[in-house]
Structure 1
Amino acid sequence: MERPSKRAKVSSEPELAENLSVTTPLTSLHRQISPPPARSQKPGPSSQSTCSTARNEDTDDLTGPGAIEPFPRIECISSPIQLTHIRDLPTTNNVDTVKLRDILGDPMIRECWQFNYLFDVDFLMSYFDEDVRSLVQVKVVHGSWQKEAANRIRIEEACSRYPNVEPIVAYMPEPFGTHHSKMMILLRHDDLAQIIIHTANMIQGDWTNMTQAVWRSPLLPLEKPKPSTESQAKCLKFGSGARFKRDLLAYLKAYGPSKTGALVRQLNDFDFKAVRAALVASVPSRQHASNSNSDEDTLWGWLALKDATSRIPTAQKGDELQKGNTIQPHIVIQISSVATLGQTNKWLRDVFFKALAPKSSTTPNYSIVFPTPDEIRRSLDGYGSGGSIHMKTQSAAQQKQVQYLRPHLCQWAGDTLMPGAQINLLDESKREAGRRRAAPHIKTYICFANKDKKTIDWAMVSSANLSTQAWGAATNGNGEVRVCSWEIGVLIWPDLFRSGLEDEKSPDAVMVPCFKEDTPRFSGDEKDSMVVGFRMPYDLPLTPYGASDEPWCATAEYELPDWRGQSWT
């Protein structure tokens, strides 16, 4: 008797099991299978639709006096960046979110490469389709190179319970570097591939009540033979899928052929044309700033970031400048960790800030969003979520760093009250993201066009926090930039999504922040435009630190109990 099709599971989290072997027939391989939808409730990341300001078809052919002006046709692109589902938030705050099972639960996956910092292998394996869990070839790439490291021992012991799982130790030449990249690469039985770049460790806590982000490429087909006359320069246009592919393969090759050579050979056969993003990554390396030309070689760290942001069109249009309306961008850095940057702001101001805005005609405003102890205390997991969020504040040198960061620091939730202060519950200017109580492990870098933050010049989601190990130190005496860690991220901007990038008559594109959903909203003033959404993880406007606010410090002690009644010692 044929086994009926499986029903969708409704349990919130699967129990971890030491033995997850398959003992039933693989019926899922013998029935029709469609890829899971890119959205649980809305169109996919690259989906296009016409917004509610649609053209009146009855008036399209009317001309001359008395003709009715048709409504402008607004093309909407759902946010290419998704937030992850938060277990303990209501459904209204989880619209358009993604779960780990949405990514790994497809029985068409035949091979899965997992790049990350922390792994719970049993947790990871529990999210594959149960019928093929023992058949998927899983590669676990981590950076615990010391044989006696507790993390490496845990990973290897867990992998030994699964014949189809192989641990791979990343090349780690720098003693202070980490393998911090967070990426999945899926190869499928239907000859499609997918790249997923995200911000979560592969552990349960990161996929339940922590704010995280996910970027998923479209399903990529095998590449067709190209005419020999096709221009190589055109193929590698900045922001193109071909350029993304080149940079991703360069990143993977840095691990060495014995580690990732098989993956590089497979990905080389796939067509990345549908990808609309730029890759900004870091590998342990030394590059010379004077020779940095990403058209010839892939750059890493802040050199890559500076090169990328210098190529993106900004909102400082010529007509605005002619009117004397100087637009001052506002760049918001939102991270979950701040490392030792130095006792002065030289690296932050002269290296990193300039990499974020290398061609701005005006000095941007810079904000750094980082949670306070009060926000961690009131988060869904209370103090438990604070173990993943780091900024040291206790020594004299660390206090100096906090002092020069302070003018830029903003609250995560924006509702920490100063003594005697009151919350204005009727503040209509507040745009709520629905993530106040889900502590941030996400990392975003957003360039808003101006202070009202209604449009976005560019946005990036990355594994990289604010550190010289991740982005690279300042140039030394011979112009060399040293990067210690592995990191990876994606950078997007509105013009990437225009239908005719080479056509000057193609509609203008604008990127707008989206709150509690991925579908962009617009003012109605746009004319024949394309509106691209970017899903926001935090509320706007931002709330700067008050005089008594301090950044959360995981190595400090907090006697005041969290909402669960626990103290942090």
Structure 2
Amino acid sequence: MSSSQKRKLPDAANKQSKKSKKEECPHKERCYRKNPHHFKEFDHPLLNNFIKMGDSVVIPENLPQPRQVYLDQLAILKPMLMSERSDTIKENFKTIDLTSDAPSTSNEASSSYQSSAGTNKAKVSKKSKVDNTARCEKGTMLEKLEKNTPYNIFFTQIPKSPETLKESNSITFTDLLCPSLGPLKSSLQINFMIDIDWLLKQYKARDLHQKPLTIIYGDDWPDMIEFMDKFCPNVKYHFNKMKDPFGCHHTKLGIYAYDDESLRIVVSTANLYYEDWNHFNQGLWVSPRLTKLPPNSSSKDGESPTGFKADLLNYLRTYKLGILKEWISYIENADFQEIKVALVYSAPGKYYPKRNGNHLHRVGDLLSQHCHLPAKTSAQSEGPLSWGIIAQASSIGSMGKSAAEWLRSSLLRSLASHKASPLPNNSQATLSLVYPSVKNVVSGYFGLDSGGCLPYSKATNEKQRWLQTYMHQWMANGKNRTRAMPHIKSYCRVSPNLTKLAFFLLTSANLSKSAWGNNIQKDGGSYVRSYEMGVMFLPKFFDEEYFEIENSTERKNDMLFPFMYDLPLTSYNKDDYPWCN
């Protein structure tokens, strides 16, 4: 910026603002971020000064970013600052009673979820909503697990869509605490966003609110620590502050320990607060009961055929936290042989092939070893390239000026792998992206607020308009879920007749380099910024050739694989635009 340009900025932007506990954003006036987590870590004097102007704020035209970028940032930052100054939560501290048996009767919704792009308000509230269902009305959770064996995939109930409440694999958070699963001894929740008040009320609905609970979280809400210190003696916690401002602690993992020392693992796409469990489509995998190994067993005993146990231990050890030692011990002493899915995770750092810790490498390795596709034996036969790859996500990162920069050169190289073609370069496989359009969101149950879980930046989209040629609408009429926006993330490869899957990945990882891993370098390494976790379903480990998702005359399996959105996909029209925040 020239000196003449600086003179046109508000005076406070050229001076050090009042002393802040936060470090000033290194990008300064050039900052384009719209992630609330970024604004919690870094101070922005320019934006602070704009906020002081009130409704008469004027954005100078000579700033390095488009005017709309600053307006979007102000819409995020202003409510956050107001929330920090508010005494409301502290007043609630004086009156809140988590031991009362009286259920919450307030109709006031907890703060609207805006993920990494919208307005965030304090999540600790006396009037935070209890889940829509406190009991397993359609049968116990154990019965639901038995009905959904062997895949154990579940979706969240959507109260606005009553049909979803009747589905055998549709659950609430309190279902995970159902006494049919066993007397709960303690639990571990690793997540991004946690409304601790809401979460404890879910436990209270099962009379488990005094059981030991350990949480590791990635988004530090105002006064959350003060709340836990004052009112949650049973809660051990750690705020996992990211060193990389572009990374995110995005994993959604639950581990439940029971009185008989058995365990259950839950890998999910849902944050832990009201809207994520009632407004948006989420996916969960719930493990079988993992019994304790016999005495004198080795920590390497009781391994899953997919290596799930070792991978989970390696993931937990990446944190290097004392509060996880007992959970690592629980896992070391548990029998994982009944688990048929493979664990896929990302943890910040640089990784090479044959190592877990990076979605690109791990998915590519698994598919290269275990994914079978029909060989093309004639001009009329299917062949691998006739099986299309579908990526479905709730957010999209920056991918570059063309598909060749990362989407096809790195991501598709991983997703297109199979036994006959490991890590193919320049794959010609078809790649389709399912992501809600503006029309999808506007027609959602909550109108424009339906897009709160879709933090794709408009500025990013404008730089990669080419991506829209890959995009398809969010349509889930078959599951009565079209008007509930998807926070679920899934990746799969589907047969030409749309009845079979070669693999299915349920994960917290959105379509971004931060989540999956940066471009694969010449040495084979790829750097990943975020914590993510998912589970890979491969037919081989279920003694199947393929997963069947539709009835057909050639059906071989007793049970169809749970699939949320509609096939065939519905392409964007020429006038459609992806929902952006």
For 1:260-295, what per-residue CA distance to the aligned partner results, in whole angstroms no more than 9, with x for missing partners? 2221112110000111100010001112x3xx224x
Q: Is this contact kept in 1: 2:210–2:234, CA < 8 A?
A: yes
Q: Is this contact kept in 2: 1:83–1:211, CA < 8 A?
A: yes
Partner of 1:522: 551
Cα deviation, residue 377, structure 1? 1.1
Which letter maps to 1:46? T
Give the distance between the partners of 1:274 and 1:455, measured in 2 at CA.
24
User: SS state of the match for residue 536, structure 1?
Assistant: coil
Give the distance between the partners of 1:175 and 1:226, measured in 2 at CA.
44
For 1:488-543, what per-residue CA distance to the aligned partner results, in whole angstroms no more than 9, with x for missing partners? 00010222122xxxxxxxxx543122xxxxxxx632434xx434532222111110
2:448 corresponds, among 360, 367, 383, to 383
Distance 1:160 1:331, change over 3 A: farther
Residues 406-445 of structure 1 mapped to structure 2, 5 A cutoff:
406-413=468-475, 432-445=478-491
Partner of 1:219: 289
2:141 corresponds, among 37, 54, 59, to 37
Partner of 2:159: 87
- Say if 2:98 is the partner of 1:20: yes
Cα deviation, residue 213, structure 1? 0.6
User: SS state of the match for residue 219, structure 1?
Assistant: coil
Distance 1:478 1:496, change over 3 A: closer
- Say if 2:172 is the partner of 1:99: yes
Give the distance between the partners of 2:493 and 2:153, measured in 1 at CA.
15
1:125 corresponds, among 200, 210, 217, to 200
Residues 63-212 of structure 1 mapped to structure 2, 5 A cutoff:
79-91=151-163, 94-96=166-168, 97-106=170-179, 108-130=183-205, 132-144=207-219, 151=221, 153-158=223-228, 160-170=230-240, 172-212=242-282
Partner of 1:270: 334
Which letter maps to 1:537? M
Q: Is this contact kept in 2: 1:284–1:485, CA < 8 A?
A: yes
Partner of 2:570: 543
Cα deviation, residue 547, structure 1? 0.6
Partner of 2:508: 463
Distance 1:547 1:102, change over 3 A: same
Give the distance between the partners of 1:44 and 1:226, measured in 2 at CA.
35
Partner of 2:433: 368
Q: Is this contact kept in 1: 2:187–2:254, CA < 8 A?
A: yes
Q: Is this contact kept in 1: 2:191–2:252, CA < 8 A?
A: yes
Partner of 1:512: 548
Cα deviation, residue 164, structure 1? 0.6
Cα deviation, residue 324, structure 1? 4.5
User: SS state of the match for residue 560, structure 2?
Assistant: strand
Give the distance between the partners of 1:127 and 1:485, measured in 2 at CA.
28
User: SS state of the match for residue 186, structure 1?
Assistant: strand
1:399 corresponds, among 457, 462, 469, to 462
Cα deviation, residue 317, structure 1? 4.6
Give the distance between the partners of 2:165 and 2:233, measured in 1 at CA.
39
Give the distance between the partners of 2:258 and 2:282, measured in 1 at CA.
25
- Say if 2:402 is the partner of 1:340: no
Distance 1:43 1:271, change over 3 A: closer
Cα deviation, residue 116, structure 1? 0.9
Residues 323-334 of structure 1 mapped to structure 2, 5 A cutoff:
324-327=381-384, 328-334=386-392
Cα deviation, residue 364, structure 1? 1.9
Which letter maps to 1:474? N
Q: Is this contact kept in 1: 2:264–2:286, CA < 8 A?
A: yes
Distance 1:112 1:333, change over 3 A: same
Partner of 1:517: none
Q: Is this contact kept in 2: 1:376–1:439, CA < 8 A?
A: yes
Identify the structure with bigger relative contact order (alpha carbons < 8 Å, sequence gap 6+): 1
Which letter maps to 1:44? K
Q: Larger % of helix: which?
A: 2
Give the distance between the partners of 1:93 and 1:105, measured in 2 at CA.
17
- Say if 2:579 is the partner of 1:552: yes
Percent identity over paired residues:
27
Partner of 1:50: none
Which letter maps to 1:247? D
Cα deviation, residue 473, structure 1? 0.6
Give the distance between the partners of 1:114 and 1:174, measured in 2 at CA.
22
Which letter maps to 1:443? K
Partner of 2:149: 46
Cα deviation, residue 330, structure 1? 0.8
Which letter maps to 2:530? S
The unaligned stretches of length 5 or more in structure 2 are 1-92, 103-138, 422-426
Which letter maps to 1:223? L
Q: Is this contact kept in 1: 2:548–2:557, CA < 8 A?
A: no
Partner of 2:560: 533
Distance 1:254 1:235, change over 3 A: same
For 1:451-481, what per-residue CA distance to the aligned partner results, in whole angstroms no more than 9, with x for missing partners? 2211000001100001111111113465432
TM-score, normalising length from structure 2? 0.70
Q: Is this contact kept in 2: 1:443–1:464, CA < 8 A?
A: yes
- Say if 2:348 is the partner of 1:284: yes
Partner of 1:454: 499
